[in-house]
Amino acid sequence: MNMSNTAKIVTSIVVAVLVVLGVVFYFSRGEAFLGDVKADKTIFYDGSKFDPAVIEIKVGESVAFVNRSASGMWVASAPHPTHSDYPE
């Protein structure tokens, strides 16, 4: 089945737009919108360390983690050194 020139052009434009959107999505980064969320403590992650490294949290306080790195982050806790709560 032969595609007409118009169909080829439209297909090429759609593919180009999808590629551009994919590249923009892949390389875009930013902090998640938290809206009106108020946290008692804020911890920042830069890709290699948390700042502050140590905080004291009282019962009932909330903590916000802000990712300032170029990649995703996942925060969890487990008993050290075995990490038995989250086995791989």
Residues 84 and 44 in one domain: yes
36 and 76 assigned to the same domain: yes
CA gap 8, 1 in Å, rounded: 12
At residue 50, the pLDDT reads 92
36-50 confidence digits (pLDDT tens):
668 899 999 999 999
In the structure, what pLDDT confidence band is assigned to residue 86 with cuts at 50, 70 and 90? low
Please indicate whether residue 21 or residue 35 has the higher confidence score (pLDDT). Answer: 21
- Strands of 1-88, DSSP E: 41-45, 50-51, 63-67
Shared-domain flag, residues 36 and 12: no
Are residues 42 and 17 part of one domain?
Answer: no
Structural domain range at position 25: 1-30
The total domain count for the chain is 2
Helices (H), 28-76: none
Note whether 36 and 20 are same-domain residues. no
Assess whether 42 and 77 both reside in one domain: yes
Q: Can you tell me the distance from the alpha carbon of 56 to that of 72, in angstroms, rounded to the nearest whole number?
A: 25
Average pLDDT over residues 29-36: 59
pLDDT of residue 23: 80
- Comparing 42 with 82, which gets the higher pLDDT? 42
4/15 Cα distance (integer angstroms): 17
Residue 35 and residue 1 in one domain: no
